[in-house]
Amino acid sequence: DAMVIQNPRYQVTQFGKPVTLSCSQTLNHNVMYWYQQKSSQAPKLLFHYYDKDFNNEADTPDNFQSRRPNTSFCFLDIRSPGLGDAAMYLCATSSHREQGYEQYFGPGTRLTVT
């Protein structure tokens, strides 16, 4: 089945130690998104790629970076994780960026910072 896959499902990292989360999709969608979701809160968009075009949200900290080497894969890099970065990180894809096209979410990676 076509789907959005995130690895790992659970990640533990140390304060200040760089960490990379990965997302892959078999839907061949043009758009890939990264969201941060903290406990009991709604997902918050960090950035998205429209093909290779990177779009950062204005309030996304510089500590968060992303790479999309090809259509299928997208990575979230946290350069120096702080305790406040502990959250669920959700990857989503969409065939189009405009309204009317739903976003398909992966299962998420839960990041713990010790």
Partner 1 sequence: GESVGLHLPTLSVQEGDNSIINCAYSNSASDYFIWYKQESGKGPQFIIDIRSNMDKRQGQRVTVLLNKTVKHLSLQIAATQPGDSAVYFCAEISDRGSTLGRLYFGRGTQLTVWP
Beta pairing partners, 33: 48, 92
| Phi, psi angles (nearest 5°) of residue 100 | 100, -5
Per CB under 8 A, the segment of 13-21, 66-74, 79-87, 90-98 that binds partner 1 is 90-98
What CA–CA distances, in Å, run from 87 to 84, 99, 102? 8, 27, 23
Candidate list 11, 13, 50, 72; residue touching partner 1; CB under 8 A: 50
Per CB under 8 A, the segment of 60-68, 69-77, 79-87, 95-103 that binds partner 1 is 95-103
Which of 17, 111 has the CB closer to partner 1? 111
What CA–CA distances, in Å, run from 108 to 28, 58, 95? 19, 23, 19
Which of 5, 72 has the CB closer to partner 1? 5
Binding status of residue 41 toward partner 1 by CB under 8 A: yes
Residue 11 and residue 109 in contact, taking contact as beta carbons nearer than 8 Å: yes
Report the alpha-carbon distance of residue 50 to residue 33 in Å, rounded. 9
Per CB under 8 A, the segment of 11-19, 47-55, 70-78, 79-87 that binds partner 1 is 47-55
Binding status of residue 83 toward partner 1 by CB under 8 A: no
DSSP state of 103: P
Footprint of partner 1 (CB under 8 A): 4, 6, 31, 33, 40-45, 48, 50, 55, 90, 92, 94, 97-108, 110
